[in-house]
Amino acid sequence: MDAQTLVDERGELWLALAPLWLEREPRETDYARMVEVIQRHDLTLHELEWVFRLELAPVLARHQMSVAGEWRRFDDHKLMRQLVAHNLRLTGWRRKSWALFSGLTTMMARHRWSELMERVAVARGETGY
């Protein structure tokens, strides 16, 4: 997959979910926007979990752990470049390695992710996450 295809297929979703890693708790409007974007992408909860763990967390967790990192707000253009670069390399052993360590890269945002998935399940009329 090339960079433009990644941006076309995932860009909106990635940018909508990025606030889960900011230092502040997402507002109701943030969650509502995330749910709205997720609904347009027609992914299962299981597929969304892997987007969270493999496509987003390895890049965004670095921002949280960096003293000089951007964790109050993101530069969307810079973040998109980082996400595309990461995802273009996300094959074979890299994919397996990130899957193995995804518990570490997701732990700081897991409570927010769980809240979001509950909201998505409710919006879809599904029972719990």
DSSP string, 26-46: PPHHHHHHHHHHHHHHT--HH
Does the pLDDT of residue 108 top 60, yes or no?
yes
Residue bearing tokens 């973040």: 79
Residues 45-62 pLDDT 10s? 999 999 999 999 999 988
φ, ψ dihedrals at 82, nearest 5°: -65, -45
Instruction: Please state, for a pLDDT cut of 90, what percent of the chain lies above it.
Output: 72
Calpha distance 77→84 (Å, rounded): 11
Alpha-carbon Rg for the chain, nearest whole angstrom, is: 14
Average pLDDT, the chain: 90
pLDDT at res. 66: 54
By three-state DSSP, how is residue 79 classified? helix
